[in-house]
Amino acid sequence: MRLRKSVLLASFLILTTGSCTTVSLEPDLPCPTRPELLPIPVDLQIQMPPDAVWIVAENQLALKAYAKKLEARAGCE
């Protein structure tokens, strides 16, 4: 019984001291440069079905909006 109490006390002390540790935060990383997107030439766009051109355009707009939100949240210029 005494051994059990000492084991419980030791585990309690380990848990409480381990949960009170501090975490050091790394400084903010610099914002990455924006990639230059490659344009799709008109002759390739003509070869694509119109639905595919619209999907590519919608995806590009959505990704640009998402990148702007992330840059605003990170404080990038």
Q: How far apart are CA 14 and CA 60, in angstroms?
A: 52
Higher pLDDT, 5 or 56: 56
Q: How far apart are CA 63 and CA 36, in angstroms?
A: 13
Position 21 confidence tier, pLDDT thresholds 50, 70, 90: low
Q: Using the predicted structure, report yes or no on whether residue 4 has a pLDDT greater than 80.
A: no
pLDDT for 52:
93
For the chain, which residues make up each domain, given as ranges?
36-77
- pTM, 2 dp: 0.55
Percentage, residues of the chain above pLDDT 70: 79
